[in-house]
Structure 1
Amino acid sequence: MAHHPDAEAPLLGKPDAASPPARRNKYPFFCAVLASMTSVLMGYNVAVMSGAQIFMAEDLGISDEQVEVLSGVINIYSLVGALLAGWTSDRLGRRLTIVLANVFFLAGPLAMALAGGYAALMVGRFIAGVGSGYALVIAPVYAAEIAPASSRGLLTSLPEIFINTGVMLSYVSNLAFSGLPVHLSWRMMFAAGGLPTVFLAAGVLTMPESPRWLAMKGRVAEAKAVLDKTSDTPAEAEQRLLEIEDVVSSGGRSSEGGGGAWKEVATRAGVRRVLAIVLTLQFFQQSSGIDSVVLYGPRVLAMAGVTSNTLLLSLNVLFGVAKAGSILIAMALADRVGRRPLLLASTGGMTASLLVLGSLFAAFAGAKDDAAVAAVSVAAVVAFVVAFSVGLGPLAWVYSSEILPLRLRGQGAGLGTAMNRVMSGVVTMTFISLYQAISMAGAFYLYAAVAAASFVFVYACLPETRGRSLEDMEELFHTK
């Protein structure tokens, strides 16, 4: 795919420079925050294995191969939720789909906390995985559809910040419960993930439904009422409604049956291009190895010379703080500097930090007591997670959510999430085997090559989308 000619074009639908800036409406922010908080549970359930595996192995005799499968299989299981989320959200609505995700996040952690062996743990990981798939799809879709163009980059970044907040909280949980008896410590780590679900589900039911979903169902008056509450100005609310009605009348309702929208994938080049961008962006987000650090950080640092379990779990908390905190930078800049500059800086920084990390393992393999090597390794890992989190981490979801046409948004987001979870599962379920086969240095050099390829893809293929309405995207990508 070539760089789109409209990449540097003037922004459609942007207010005249002489007009005073509209006062931003805070109501859609609170709605998007509440919807996105379910992502905390997704991040928690994926990453809690990072520390829990140490104690599970001792308590239940779990092998390295079983740890590898349990760590990564939740991402494969999330495909079920991701592929069902588009169908569910188009029929039940965005709100009830978020509530359903919380139900899975209650049942999954409880099943794992009560597990007596490997098979029962797999059942719990399956249930939590389905919830993860739902959360990954529906939170950014709802945020994108509720947000005015002026704050869409910020609001669709929220699920990623909450995912990483969940990751950080899982690391804190690992550290906090590590002092308990072995047979209790890992069970408490899992059980803590189910506590917030009832409160979150109740809160979600107080939110308005997506105006685009309401319009798709012919409930235009309700859609207008929601737009009046979530737009920056009454004029913007009216304009958003007209644009949504135009899209719906030209085929937006076809997603209810799926056939009309998917026929366009086969017949329209613009629709195929958008889906190809979404799938490729999600492929690169995970195949560059971020989840190897999220789930195996203590193992990586142990091989770099850090020997204390307490220090390893404490450094994991540091990584979580760095990862979650860095997304605040992306949230602040996405609607100011644009998507492309952040994505290019991110993928370039990831490539450089992975090369440094690989070179450290290549040059100082086996240096168990070298404090300097361990310190530089920690710095390189922190640099990698920061680079990922200021761009590719949150903006892959932002970009994917906003470029998909309305009639394909739920199902297209589900496909993108499926690609994301497949690659995350592949990376996390092969990491131990990979570094044992080609060395830790070889594994990180491989991830660096993928990160470099993602830089080229962003530069060559992604036009800027900052400031455009969701309906403008259909003009930009020729999907209308």
Structure 2
Amino acid sequence: MKNITTNIYAIGGFAAIAGIMFGFDIGSNSGVIGTEQYREYFHRPDAVLQGGINGALSAGCFVGALCAGFPADRYSRKFTLIGASALFIIGSLFQAVANGVPLLCVGRVINGISVGITSMVVPLYQSEVSPKEIRGRIVSVQQWSITWGIMISFWIQYGSQFIPGTAAFRIPWAVQSVPAFILVAGMWAFPHSPRWLADKGRMDEAIKVLADIHGHGDVDHPRVQIEIKEIEAAIQFDREQASHRYADIFKPGLAYRVFLGVCLQIWQQLTGMNIIMFYVVYLFEQAGIGDSQEARLVSSGVSYVVNVVMTVPAILFVDKWGRRPTMILGALGMSVFLWTVGGILSTGQWSLDPNTGKSVVYLNNPSESKGVVACIYLFVATFATTWGPLGWIYPAEIFPLRVRALAVSLSTAANWFFNWLLNFIVPILMEKIHYGLYMLFAAFNFLMALHIYISYPETKGYTLEEMDIVFQHNPRKKIDPETLQQWITEKGLQKA
């Protein structure tokens, strides 16, 4: 057991089970809302009500992420993760026994609070236990686990749709509690963040954790000694320059980093990916893709498979590609695919379906429908390889230890606020502006590529303690080795 719980991949991977929880909730709901059993039991919710039901999760996520900084600092990243997972079990059970929209929304809000906490704590924990050479890879596993959760739960729901009655949606909602049970039971065996331990003055324990995960149990291992000295010096430097830890986020230099973290998380939502994940069934229905509900569900499920498969290249190569080029090229690619979807849909004839009351488009020929599907799949693949993992990696690595939990909390809360906002208004926009919705998100993707190019420095290859100098230089230029070494010497650190 010792070898497993001190292996960096096992540590990062087990914590990422929290991502499966989030993915389960997205995947089960995305499929459920397209079934006749769900529509009949909940009295065929209109666009506004369905947006509210979906948005209940995001609202809870916003609250959870906003409040997660304090327990993560006070009680540790590890215990906060365990507590949030226990909360997810409660929310899942509420959804599974829901007898109407109010109890369903309560369950989704509770699950949202849990997901908001874990989506902030897991990347934070992963980044603090990982060596700089594979930090991006370890944090990317969080996004990969989300994609697995979405895909598995969607296909569970796909099978459940053939069960008559309310079991068609109660089973998927109950099953999503399984990863939470696993996390609550198993996380106790894994170590605390060594940086959190050091910040709390538990230096002996921090050294022991670093030795176990980076030095094969040898506290005198050169890498362990260099890393612990970096952490000690950074903590001392931070405490000497600030009397109030959380107030530091308003200081000019650090406030700019918080702004970048918040903007990055907002941009991740404005890619349009989570909207497609939530409403892909409606999207294909609107575009007249597939001649039955079952066919549309299968077409939608393929997008989840693409999401899982195409996250693998990011895990393998994100620490080689770098953060800046990955995000810039990803945003430009997604923009192209969304412009194409909007352009194809603009050529069709739009009308109201008398059976569902929803807007549908009649395209001129089957090849146009296939073009929409292809572009959606390419969009999903591009997001999975770029912005999916980078949206979690970058904010978790750019802040100093004294405010890292709070700053990541604020960034993640911004993500979930926009997630809630979009989930509420997108069903309405799909009915009002039709193909213009995809062109709107295409424009957002172009703007985010421009913002990354202008403002975001490259963080690949630097330790968490070296981020101060990274943000003191032109973001479009790499720091030369001499400047970096001079800064390290001035702070009393050593180069790992």
TM-score (norm 2): 0.88
Amino acid at match of 1:186: F
Amino acid at match of 2:451: F
Matched, 1:246 2:227: no
Q: In structure 1, what is the equivalent of residue 101 of structure 2? A: 118
- 1:151-166 to 2 correspondence within 5 Å? 151-166=134-149
Bigger shift: residues 227-236 or 364-373: 364-373
Contact persistence 2:264–2:391 (CA under 8 A) = yes
- 1:368-418 Cα offsets, whole Å, 9 max, x none, are 684222211111111111111111111021111111111111111110110
Shift of 1:260: 1.6
Unaligned residue ranges in structure 1 (runs of 5+): 1-24
Matched, 1:209 2:192: yes
Amino acid at match of 2:457: P
Q: Give me the whole-angstrom Cα distance separating, in 2, the residues matched to 1:134 and 1:252.
A: 26
Shift of 1:74: 0.6
What SS does the corresponding residue of 1:474 show, helix, strand or coil?
A: helix
Shift of 1:289: 1.4
Q: Give me the whole-angstrom Cα distance separating, in 2, the residues matched to 1:46 and 1:254.
A: 43
Q: Give me the whole-angstrom Cα distance separating, in 2, the residues matched to 1:155 and 1:67.
A: 35
Q: In structure 1, what is the equivalent of residue 30 of structure 2? A: 50
Contact persistence 1:58–1:182 (CA under 8 A) = no
Bigger shift: residues 193-202 or 426-435: 193-202
- 1:326-345 to 2 correspondence within 5 Å? 326-345=310-329
Matched, 1:144 2:127: yes
Contact persistence 1:171–1:313 (CA under 8 A) = no
Amino acid at match of 1:30: A
Bigger shift: residues 270-279 or 358-367: 358-367
Matched, 1:446 2:440: yes
Amino acid at match of 1:29: Y
Q: In structure 1, what is the equivalent of residue 53 of structure 2? A: 70
Q: In structure 2, what is the equivalent of residue 236 of structure 1? A: 223
Bigger shift: residues 25-34 or 402-411: 25-34
- 1:233-312 to 2 correspondence within 5 Å? 234-251=221-238, 260-266=244-250, 268-306=251-289, 307-312=291-296
Q: Give me the whole-angstrom Cα distance separating, in 1, the residues matched to 2:142 and 2:112.
A: 17
Select 1:318's aligned residue among 302, 317, 324: 302
Shift of 1:235: 1.3
Matched, 1:34 2:17: no
After superposition, the Cα gap between the structure-2 partners of 1:338 and 1:247, relative to the gap in structure 1 and judged at 3 Å, is same
Unaligned residue ranges in structure 2 (runs of 5+): 350-360, 474-490, 492-496
Matched, 1:80 2:60: no
Amino acid at match of 2:39: A
Q: In structure 2, what is the equivalent of residue 59 of structure 1? A: 41
Q: Give me the whole-angstrom Cα distance separating, in 1, the residues matched to 2:300 and 2:146.
A: 15
Q: Give me the whole-angstrom Cα distance separating, in 1, the residues matched to 2:460 and 2:6.
A: 19
After superposition, the Cα gap between the structure-2 partners of 1:223 and 1:252, relative to the gap in structure 1 and judged at 3 Å, is farther
Q: In structure 1, what is the equivalent of residue 420 of structure 2? A: 425
Shift of 1:250: 2.3
Amino acid at match of 2:437: A
Q: In structure 1, what is the equivalent of residue 395 of structure 2? A: 400
What SS does the corresponding residue of 1:196 show, helix, strand or coil?
A: helix
Q: Give me the whole-angstrom Cα distance separating, in 2, the residues matched to 1:46 and 1:71.
A: 9
Contact persistence 1:326–1:386 (CA under 8 A) = yes
Shift of 1:246: 1.2
Q: Give me the whole-angstrom Cα distance separating, in 2, the residues matched to 1:438 and 1:253.
A: 55
Q: Give me the whole-angstrom Cα distance separating, in 2, the residues matched to 1:332 and 1:137.
A: 23
Amino acid at match of 1:243: E
Shift of 1:343: 0.8
Contact persistence 2:342–2:439 (CA under 8 A) = yes
Q: Give me the whole-angstrom Cα distance separating, in 1, the residues matched to 2:266 and 2:315.
A: 22
Q: In structure 2, what is the equivalent of residue 127 of structure 1? A: 110
Q: Give me the whole-angstrom Cα distance separating, in 2, the residues matched to 1:273 and 1:232.
A: 35
Shift of 1:262: 3.1
Amino acid at match of 2:317: L
Q: In structure 1, what is the equivalent of residue 158 of structure 2? A: 175
After superposition, the Cα gap between the structure-2 partners of 1:252 and 1:350, relative to the gap in structure 1 and judged at 3 Å, is farther
Q: Give me the whole-angstrom Cα distance separating, in 1, the residues matched to 2:215 and 2:317.
A: 20
Amino acid at match of 1:158: V
Q: Give me the whole-angstrom Cα distance separating, in 1, the residues matched to 2:198 and 2:91.
A: 34
Contact persistence 1:110–1:124 (CA under 8 A) = yes
Q: In structure 2, what is the equivalent of residue 3 of structure 1? A: none
Select 2:471's aligned residue among 445, 467, 477: 477
Shift of 1:73: 2.2
Q: Give me the whole-angstrom Cα distance separating, in 1, the residues matched to 2:262 and 2:178.
A: 34
Shift of 1:252: 5.6
- 1:215-270 Cα offsets, whole Å, 9 max, x none, are 01100000001111222682111111111111212236999xxx72333233x322
What SS does the corresponding residue of 2:319 show, helix, strand or coil?
A: coil
Q: In structure 2, what is the equivalent of residue 105 of structure 1? A: 88
Contact persistence 1:217–1:253 (CA under 8 A) = no
Amino acid at match of 2:224: A
- 1:99-152 Cα offsets, whole Å, 9 max, x none, are 112112211111011010011111101110111101100110010000011110
Shift of 1:461: 1.0
Bigger shift: residues 458-467 or 228-237: 228-237
Bigger shift: residues 364-373 or 442-451: 364-373
Contact persistence 2:70–2:406 (CA under 8 A) = yes
Amino acid at match of 2:429: L
What SS does the corresponding residue of 2:163 show, helix, strand or coil?
A: coil
After superposition, the Cα gap between the structure-2 partners of 1:236 and 1:373, relative to the gap in structure 1 and judged at 3 Å, is same
Matched, 1:367 2:362: yes
Contact persistence 2:246–2:402 (CA under 8 A) = no
Shift of 1:273: 1.3
Shift of 1:167: 1.1
Select 2:374's aligned residue among 374, 379, 386: 379
TM-score (norm 1): 0.90
Contact persistence 1:45–1:193 (CA under 8 A) = yes
Select 2:171's aligned residue among 178, 184, 188: 188
Q: Give me the whole-angstrom Cα distance separating, in 2, the residues matched to 1:74 and 1:280.
A: 21
